[in-house]
Amino acid sequence: MEFRQVEYFLAVVENDGINGAAAALGVAQPTVSQALRSLERELGVQLFHRIGRGMVLTAAGHSLIGPSRQILRDVGGVEDLFTSLEGEITGRLDMAVFPALAIDPLVDLVAQFRKAHPKVAVRFGEFRAEETAASLIRDGHCEFVVSHLPIEGGYGLEVIELGEQEYWLAYPPGTDLPEGPVPLAAMPDIPMVLVPRGGGAMGDSIDSAMRRAGVRLDVGVVTDHREARLPMVLAGLGGSLVERQLAESAQDHAVVRPCDPTFTRAFGLVFDPDSLSAVGQAFVDLVRSANA
Amino acid sequence: MDLHLVTYFVAVVDHGGITKAAQSLYISQPSLSQAIRTLERRLGTTLFDRTGRRLTLTDEGRSFEVAARRILADVDRAKSKVAAVRELAAGRIEIVTYSAFSIHPVIELVRRFRSRYPGILVRVVATDGPAGVHTALRRGEAEIGVTDLSVEHAGMITVPVVEQELVLAVPPNLADGLPNPVPRSLLPSIPLVVDLTNRTDAMQSGELTDGKDLDIAVDCAHPSATWELVMRGTGATIAPRQVAEAQMPTAAVRSLDPPMSRPVGLVLRAGEPSPAAAAFVAIATNGTTGA
């Protein structure tokens, strides 16, 4: 197995086929197909089903993704051995973040990290099924996961708690609402802008509390784009439930209030301490010192 | 059982006889009598006692009357629900787009639509680029796409809405000494926060580089984290002017040279749109607030 074959294999996975991979790598298509076929020959198994002109991963192909990413990271780490003599860390910080948690303190930690290590490229990716958090790390898809805690099947993984997430209500400017927490049963009669129920324990507990309080929300807009919630509130489209710090950042423009009862859940950074790269170790050090 | 037989039965009860009921229904007396006998035959029971001068309900007739009135009320409710949707007092509309347009122009379009049609739920479905918009439309997951009209949309209806300018949002610490507008040739020297998995962003950076490598500081899949990272000085990003100005208030907004823009519009499947979709198109193409 050659490093180049692994790189091409991942490019085909990430770019949905030979064409995209060749374009992304800046090489000719036959070069990619050839490399892929020889990798399959060597492994004695097909990595992709060729369906029409499409490429669909086989089970064997799936099993190769995680280890391949680990290979790329480790190769990057070897390059670090030599470049780090100059005292600067290079390489890649690779993390998958649950969408609701792509906020502070994580964003701030990433900004600080880039300031301290400007030669490190950061991949601030996303994942949507929290029950897969542990396997994302174990299979080598990424080095860090940021997820609500506790995570399922986290045995042997290390967790650094980053904070507690809380949901607040945000309403359009000028909404007449008394100061202080808003009891669910006393929510104003204003249409809501919501993201779809993403599963996850947080959404479930909010749902059941609303049912208990006998609240029937008038839902005006349901959007998959989380980043559009607050702008929609400010545009007067309705109220929304948003992460506390997002609400606080908007309190000069929108009417924001805590909910009663409060909905909180801890979240944190998860990683495998036994396979930490030099870049990963530097990030863990930064997070620990910020938490101290 | 035919619905019209139920209607006839209730009319006979309400008018106290065949003659008046037939008049109110605009049918002949014999055909109404015939219809009632058909109903009785189908139900296997006698609904009216015909021995006296007046037509009176039997016990079975009285219990059928309760059921019949409930059925007619159900029918009315069903019709009015459909009418509410047809007349845009209720219902829902699904719109599909990707992060390039999730704020501008989608929020303004949705705001105008909801202020005109407050009873209609708007569902915004996210996808990863123009091809995803087509897929969602073809699968019926959405009826309207908000997308880049410079891309091929064969076989679809396209409706131009607005020309969207893309600008560079630069953190204050990186903006010093940067000319305005920023020549595209300077981009490779500026650390960037962009989403490489988002196909349109990736396309843009390909278009921007002229083969030169960009300095990707953070490949960020979360738009609101991108805005925060820009404002904290991690790097610059390319965004629609309206998004740069509203979401990154502490960043400097610079045009590019040559300038960069894309035509934004609606795409729909060929064929007649639903009433809500037609209303959305009308509101999107009518520049006024529609309030």
Q: What is the Cα–Cα distance from B53 to B19, expressed in whole angstroms?
A: 13
Contacts of B93 in chain A (CB under 8 A): none
Between strands B48-49 and A219-223, the pairing is: unpaired
DSSP β-ladder status, B56-57 and B48-49 = antiparallel
Enter the ipTM: 0.73
Average pLDDT of A178-193?
90
Q: Is A41 exposed, middle or buried (0-12, 13-18, 19+ CB in 10 A)?
A: exposed
Between CA B238 and CA B253 the distance in angstroms is: 10
Query: What CA–CA distance (Å, rounded) separates B164 from B104?
Result: 8
Under an 8 A CB cutoff, do A228 and B106 touch?
A: yes
In A, minimum Cα distance to B206 occurs at A24
Q: Measured between CB atoms, does B131 come within 8 Å of chain A?
A: no
CB contact (8 A) between residue B124 and residue A102: no
Contact B231, A111 (CB under 8 A): no
The pLDDT of A174-200, averaged and rounded, is 86
Q: Regarding beta strands A48-51 and B156-170, do their DSSP bridges make them parallel or antiparallel, or are they unpaired? A: unpaired
CATH number for the domain harbouring residue A192: 3.40.190.10
Q: What CATH number is associated with residue A22?
A: 1.10.10.10
Collapse the DSSP code of B56 into the 3-class scheme (helix H, G, I; strand E, B; otherwise coil) and give the result. strand
What would the two tokens of residue B173 be? 């610490």
Final residue before a domain boundary, out of A18, A50, A78:
A78
Architecture of domain B164-261 in CATH?
Answer: 3-Layer(aba) Sandwich (3.40)
Q: What is the DSSP track for B240-256?
A: EHHHHHHH-TTSEEE-E
Which H helix or E strand runs over B69? Answer: helix B59-86
Chain B residues lying within 8 Å of A146, measured CB to CB: none
Domain presence at residue A195: yes
A178/chain B closest Cα distance in angstroms: 25
B222–A contact, CB cutoff 8 A: yes
User: Is there a domain that residue A278 lies in?
Assistant: no
The total of other beta-carbon atoms located within 10 Å of residue B254's CB is: 18
Containing A39, the helix (H) or strand (E) segment is helix A29-43
Q: Do B225 and A111 touch (CB under 8 A)?
A: no
Distance from CA of B280 to the nearest CA of A (A): 14
Which of A118, A222, A227 has the CB atom closest to B121's CB atom? A222
Q: From residue A167, how far is each of A164, A170, B183, B235, B265 by CA, in Å?
A: 10, 10, 43, 29, 35
Integer CA distances (angstroms), A99 to A106, A148, B131, in order: 12, 11, 23
Q: pLDDT tens across A51-81, in order?
A: 766 787 887 788 788 778 777 776 666 555 5
How would residue A84 be classed by pLDDT, with cut points 50, 70 and 90? Answer: low
Give me the number of domains chain A comprises: 2
Are A110 and B219 a contacting pair at CB < 8 A?
Answer: no
B25 CB within 8 Å of a chain A CB:
no
Bridge partners of residue A242, in order along the sequence: A168
Could you tell me which chain A residue has the CA closest to the CA of B234?
Answer: A111
Determine contact, residues A192/A217, Cβ cutoff 8 Å.
yes
Choose among A123, A219, A224: nearest Cβ to B126.
Answer: A224
Common-topology check for domains B92-155+266-285 and B164-261? yes
pLDDT for A199 beyond 60: no
Residue A172 lies in a domain: yes
Residue A276 in tokens: 């930490």
Q: How far is it between the farthest Cα atoms of chain A?
A: 70
User: Two tokens at A159?
Assistant: 């967790």
What gap in Å lies between CA A184 and CA A153, rounded to an integer? 34
Model pLDDT, residue A81: 53
Bridge partners (DSSP) of residue A56 are A49
A252 has a pLDDT exceeding 70: yes
Instruction: Quote the pLDDT of residue B27.
Output: 93
d(CA A35, CA A28): 11
pLDDT at A183 over 80: yes
The architecture (CATH level 2) of B92-155+266-285 comes to 3-Layer(aba) Sandwich (3.40)
Chain A contact present for B235, CB below 8 A: yes
CATH of B3-86, one of 3.30.1330.30, 3.30.2320.30, 1.10.10.10, 1.10.472.10: 1.10.10.10
From the centroid of its chain, how far is CA A115? 21
- Chain B residue at shortest CA distance from A117: B217
What one-letter code names the amino acid at A102? A
Question: For residues A261 and A242, what is the distance between their CA atoms, to the nearest angstrom?
Answer: 15
Mean pLDDT of A98-120: 91
* C-beta of residue A194 within 8 angstroms of C-beta of residue A222: yes
Work out the minimum CA distance from A223 to partner chain B, whole angstroms.
4
Chain A positions contacting chain B at CB under 8 Å are 97, 99, 102-104, 106-108, 110-111, 114-115, 118, 121-126, 191, 219-228, 231-232, 235-237, 246
Q: Would you state the pLDDT for residue B291?
A: 37
- Searching chain A, which residue's CA lies closest to the CA of residue B115? A237
Residues in A closer than 8 angstroms to B246, CB to CB, are 231
Distance CA A143, CA B72 (A): 64
The span from the CA of A69 to the CA of A137, in Å, is 11
pLDDT tens across the length of chain B (291 residues): 678 888 999 999 999 889 999 999 999 999 999 999 999 998 888 999 988 877 889 998 988 888 888 888 888 877 777 777 777 888 889 999 998 899 999 999 999 999 999 999 999 999 988 889 999 998 888 999 999 999 888 889 999 999 999 999 999 889 888 898 999 888 888 999 988 776 565 555 556 665 567 888 999 989 999 999 999 999 999 999 999 999 999 999 999 998 989 999 999 998 888 889 999 999 999 864 433
Angstrom CA distances, A192 to A187, A213, A244, B145, stand at 11, 17, 17, 23
* Every domain of chain B and the residues it spans: 3-86, 92-155+266-285, 164-261
Q: Is residue A83 part of a domain?
A: no
What residue numbers bound the domain in which A260 lies? 163-265
Contact by Cβ (8 Å): B146, B137: no
Burial class (CB in 10 A: 0-12, 13-18, 19+), B209: middle
Bridge partners of residue A258, in order along the sequence? A168
CB A197 within 8 A of CB A203: yes
Q: pLDDT (tens digit, 9 = 90+) per residue, A118-173? A: 888 899 998 888 888 998 888 778 899 999 988 888 888 999 999 998 989 999 99
